[in-house]
Amino acid sequence: ELAQELEAEAEELERQKKASPSQTPNQPESESKPLISPERLKQVEDEYIKYEYHRKHTGLNHLAFHGGSREFVDTITLRLKEKNVTILYLDKHPYAGGIDYYAVFFEDPNRIKVEICAN
């Protein structure tokens, strides 16, 4: 469900971007494609849901996505709060990654930490 909402947000931002492109003349089309896009986010298949995950085990610690603007990070943060998703490091949000680093950190339903950062 969250992935679908993120897809919708990414599609809307892509529509807005096309309406007022900020791509430089020599920038390849592929570089202007958002990292959070429908073809990059997929729900896990049912047969794999049974496996437990803990970010402190060997392997993946968290997923990080470049969200583009601070506005996008703020929009995602509001959407997460509307869905009662706990924002991690709330006492330092949105600067939990440092004073020059604007991001939101949260856990998905499987407790995988997700980070969406701005430029």
The confidence band for 34, taking pLDDT boundaries of 50, 70 and 90, is low
**Cis (ω within 30 of 0) for the bond into 28?**
no
Contacts of 95 (CB under 8 A, 6+ apart): 101, 102
Identify which has the larger pLDDT, 99 or 13: 99
Show the domains of the chain with their CATH numbers. 2-118 (3.10.180.10)
50-71 pLDDT tens trace: 666 666 665 677 888 888 899 9
Using alpha carbons, select from 101, 104, 68 the residue that is nearest to residue 86.
104
Whether the pLDDT of residue 118 is over 70: the answer is yes
What per-residue confidence (pLDDT) applies to 27?
A: 47
Q: Tell me the residue type at 2.
A: L
Model confidence, pTM: 0.57
**CA 80/CA 90 separation, integer angstroms:** 13
pLDDT in tens, 67-88: 889 999 999 999 999 999 999 9
Q: Strand 103-107 relative to strand 113-118: parallel, antiparallel, unpaired?
A: antiparallel
